[in-house]
């Protein structure tokens, strides 16, 4: 299938492009390079041995998206392109609502006008808010998200659900990601945050590389085994493969269809457990201190992923140690660190 990948030069997008190619599909990228680098395209080429076609375009430009869908004979879309910084979304909610909501609506309109039926949407476990218990299943009620970013994910899910409820002839699916970490084992592609990283693993690898002086662990007084938050850290290659599985599921549907799937490992790890795994597998000591809680952080969340296992025939293959090894290999490559 010819699959349009919006945000295909980004962290999860670039890994998914590789896995789509590996599974025999033809990915075509749309990216405005707002928060991604063209170097990712070279990284993809180094892995798969050929150029992937890309368009430098904003997916809110409906006419341009329609033209690409037509000329590339697009069969389906994976929509990654979105702003994703939780803190920034609190500072500038209009930017988040404008970009994340309009891009999704525009894509749906373009799909309708071009007769493209299949879409996989990047959602997030943030739609569960602070859950009463973990693991959360897809039946766990959504709670108000703790940020405008989170609201955009919940609202986009609603767009898709309501379009199908109205009888729109499409097959749509939301994947609720837990915490994607790691990098491609080749170290050709990985996460490239601009400025000071707000996510845990890039902050760890930049600290180990000497770019940041020390990591602050946000809170050690939570009611968890070691007092730090629990998250479901999933290797980005496993997550990328879930998108291929999602497309294969959509291809079996002939009628209007919408569903949501958790995509995680099914296991929770604390922040300190992740740091310990990083130190152990890479044989180094990380400079970190225990600090106050970060406002807005959910105490603990991890996913029940049995629905994806059953209906998408997908499961994770990599361990937390794999993620920590690959994340560090990638950081070393980016910084030119030997060893």
Within 3-62, the residues that bind ligand UD1 by CB under 6 A are none
Q: CA 267 to CA 93: how far, in whole Å?
A: 32
User: Contact at 8 Å (CB) between 269 and 231?
Assistant: yes
Bond from prior residue into 78 cis (ω within 30 degrees of 0): no
CB of 277 to ligand UD1, least distance (A): 13
| C-beta of 139 vs 289, nearer to ligand UD1 | 289
Q: CA 12 to CA 82: how far, in whole Å?
A: 12
Give the range of 146-154, 164-172, 235-243, 320-328 binding ligand UD1 by CB under 6 A: 146-154
For the chain, report the end-to-end CA distance as a whole number of angstroms: 40
Within 95-124, the residues that bind ligand UD1 by CB under 6 A are 124
Q: CA 150 to CA 160: how far, in whole Å?
A: 16
| C-beta of 14 vs 124, nearer to ligand UD1 | 124
Give the range of 46-54, 145-153, 242-250, 279-287 binding ligand UD1 by CB under 6 A: 145-153
Count of C-beta atoms within a 10 Å radius of residue 60? 18
| C-beta of 228 vs 325, nearer to ligand UD1 | 228
CB of 221 to ligand UD1, least distance (A): 12
Is 298 a residue that touches ligand UD1 (CB under 6 A)?
yes
Give the range of 10-18, 184-192, 293-301, 317-325 binding ligand UD1 by CB under 6 A: 293-301
| Contact with ligand UD1 (CB under 6 A) among 2, 193, 297, 332 | 297
| C-beta of 146 vs 319, nearer to ligand UD1 | 146
- The β-bridge partners of 119 are 77, 172
| Contact with ligand UD1 (CB under 6 A) among 26, 146, 276, 306 | 146
| C-beta of 118 vs 205, nearer to ligand UD1 | 205
How many Cα atoms occupy the beta-carbon half-sphere of 23 within 13 Å? 20
Question: How many residues make contact with ligand UD1 (CB under 6 A)?
Answer: 23
CB of 290 to ligand UD1, least distance (A): 9
- Sketch the per residue contact string, 74 through 93, with ligand UD1: x for CB under 6 A, - otherwise: ----------x-x-------
Pairing status of strand 2-6 against strand 26-31: parallel
Q: CA 74 to CA 28: how far, in whole Å?
A: 9
| C-beta of 65 vs 201, nearer to ligand UD1 | 201
Using a 10 angstrom Cβ sphere, with 0-12 exposed, 13-18 middle and 19 or more buried, the burial of residue 23 is middle
CB of 316 to ligand UD1, least distance (A): 17
User: Contact at 8 Å (CB) between 178 and 134?
Assistant: no
Within 192-231, the residues that bind ligand UD1 by CB under 6 A are 198-200, 203, 215-218, 229, 231
| Catalytic option among 55, 96, 128, 149 | 149
CB of 1 to ligand UD1, least distance (A): 27
How many Cα atoms occupy the beta-carbon half-sphere of 242 within 13 Å? 36
User: Contact at 8 Å (CB) between 103 and 82?
Assistant: yes
Q: Which helix (H) or strand (E) holds 165?
A: helix 148-165
Q: CA 287 to CA 271: how far, in whole Å?
A: 14
* Residue 75, phi then psi, degrees to nearest 5: -100, -25
Q: Is 222 a catalytic residue?
A: no
| C-beta of 8 vs 131, nearer to ligand UD1 | 131
Closest of 79, 249, 257, 261 to residue 171, by C-alpha:
257
Active site residues: 149
Contact residues: ligand UD1, CB under 6 A: 84, 86, 124-126, 146-147, 150, 179, 198-200, 203, 215-218, 229, 231, 271, 294, 297-298
């Amino acid at each position: 299938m010819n699959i349009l990948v919006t945000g295909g030069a980004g962290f999860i997008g670039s890994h998914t492009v590789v896995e789509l190619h590996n599974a025999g599909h033809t990915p075509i990228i749309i990216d405005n390079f707002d928060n991604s680098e063209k170097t990712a395209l070279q990284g993809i080429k180094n892995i798969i041995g050929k150029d992937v076609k890309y368009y430098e375009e904003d997916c809110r430009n409906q006419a341009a998206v329609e033209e690409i869908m037509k000329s590339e004979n697009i069969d389906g879309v994976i929509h990654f392109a979105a702003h994703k910084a939780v803190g920034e979304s609190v500072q500038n909610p209009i930017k988040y609502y404008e970009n994340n909501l309009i891009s999704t609506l525009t894509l749906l309109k373009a799909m309708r006008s071009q007769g493209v039926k299949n879409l996989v949407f990047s959602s997030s476990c943030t739609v569960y808010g602070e859950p009463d218990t973990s693991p959360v299943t897809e039946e766990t009620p959504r709670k108000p998200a703790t940020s405008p970013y989170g609201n955009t994910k919940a609202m986009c899910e609603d767009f898709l659900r309501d379009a199908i409820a109205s009888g729109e002839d499409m097959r749509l699916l939301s994947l609720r990601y837990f915490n994607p970490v790691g990098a491609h084992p080749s170290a050709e592609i990985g996460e490239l945050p601009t400025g000071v990283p707000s996510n845990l693993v890039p902050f760890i690898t930049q600290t180990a590389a000497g770019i940041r002086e020390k990591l602050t662990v946000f809170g050690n007084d939570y009611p968890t085994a070691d007092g730090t938050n629990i998250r479901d850290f999933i290797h980005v290659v496993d997550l990328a493969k879930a998108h291929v599985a999602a497309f294969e599921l959509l291809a079996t549907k002939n009628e209007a269809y919408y569903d949501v799937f958790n995509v995680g490992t099914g296991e929770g790890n604390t922040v300190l457990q992740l740091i310990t795994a990083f130190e152990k597998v890479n044989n180094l000591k990380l400079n970190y201190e225990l600090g106050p809680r970060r406002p807005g952080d959910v105490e603990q969340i991890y996913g029940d992923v049995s629905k994806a296992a059953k209906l998408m025939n997908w499961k994770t293959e990599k361990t937390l140690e794999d993620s920590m090894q690959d994340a560090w290999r990638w950081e070393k490559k980016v910084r030119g660190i030997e060893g």
